[in-house]
Amino acid sequence: MQKVGVIGLGPIGNRHARIYQQMDGAELAAVCDIDRARADATAAALGVPAFYSVQSMIDATELTMASVATGGEEYGSDHHRPTMEALEAGLHVLCEKPISNEIAPAEEMVASARDKGLCFGVDLNHRFTPAARLAKRWVDEGRIGHQLFMNMAMWIQNPRESSEWFQIKALHPHTVDIMRYFCGDIVEVHCFALKAPGRSIYSTAQFNMRFASGCLGHLTGSYDIERGHPMERCEVAGLQGRFVIDDMYREATLFPAGEMEKRVYSNPIFGGMRDFEDTFHNRLGRFVEQLNEGAAPDEIDASGEDGLKAQKVLAAAIESVRTGTVVAVAP
Q: What is the pLDDT of residues 68-93, one digit of tens each?
A: 999 888 777 899 999 999 999 999 99
CB contact set of 161 (below 8 Å; sequence gap of 6+): 199, 200, 201
Is 240 a domain residue? yes
CB contact set of 281 (below 8 Å; sequence gap of 6+): 19, 23
3-state class percentages of the chain: helix first, strand second, coil last, to nearest 5: 40, 25, 35
Among 95, 118, 141, give the residue marking a domain's end. Answer: 118
* Paired residues of 216 in beta bridges: 149, 210
Among 87, 118, 149, give the residue marking a domain's end. Answer: 118
- Let me know whether 106 and 51 are in one domain: yes
- Let me know whether 214 and 264 are in one domain: yes
Query: Strand 65-68 to strand 2-7: parallel, antiparallel, or no bridges (unpaired)?
Result: parallel
Q: State yes or no: pLDDT of 229 exceeds 70.
A: no
CATH number, domain of 189, equals: 3.30.360.10
Segment 89-111, tens digit of pLDDT: 999 999 999 999 999 999 999 99
pTM (predicted TM-score): 0.95
- Let me know whether 220 and 262 are in one domain: yes
User: How many CB atoms are closer than 10 A to CB 269?
Assistant: 7
Among 94, 118, 142, give the residue marking a domain's end. Answer: 118
CATH number, domain of 97, equals: 3.40.50.720
Domain that holds residue 183: 129-271+310-328
